[in-house]
Amino acid sequence: MITDKNVKGPASYFPSIEKKYGKPINHWLGIISEMNGKKHMEMVAILKSDHGLGHGHANALVAYHMASAAK
């Protein structure tokens, strides 16, 4: 779990995501990594509808995943 209060961007949501949904961030990133070929908002919609995440949390996870994949 990320606890550094200076974390900015999508990763700043990680502590609250883990607390609210009871799963580690790697769990969610694993689900996202299986969504090959989907666009950003398609992935957000799946996380919301199939896994019950809120929009902000889903968006933060997808944004983080896509930025990491681009490196």
pLDDT digit string (tens) for 6-45? 778 899 999 999 999 999 999 999 999 999 899 999 999 9
Q: Is the pTM of this model over 0.85?
A: yes
CA terminus-to-terminus distance, the chain: 22
For the chain, how big is the Rg over CA atoms in Å? Answer: 11
CB 57 within 8 A of CB 13: yes
Using pLDDT thresholds of 50, 70 and 90, give the confidence band for residue 57.
very high
Q: Which residues contact 67 (CB under 8 A, 6 or more apart)?
A: 9, 10
Q: Where are the domains of the chain?
A: 10-69
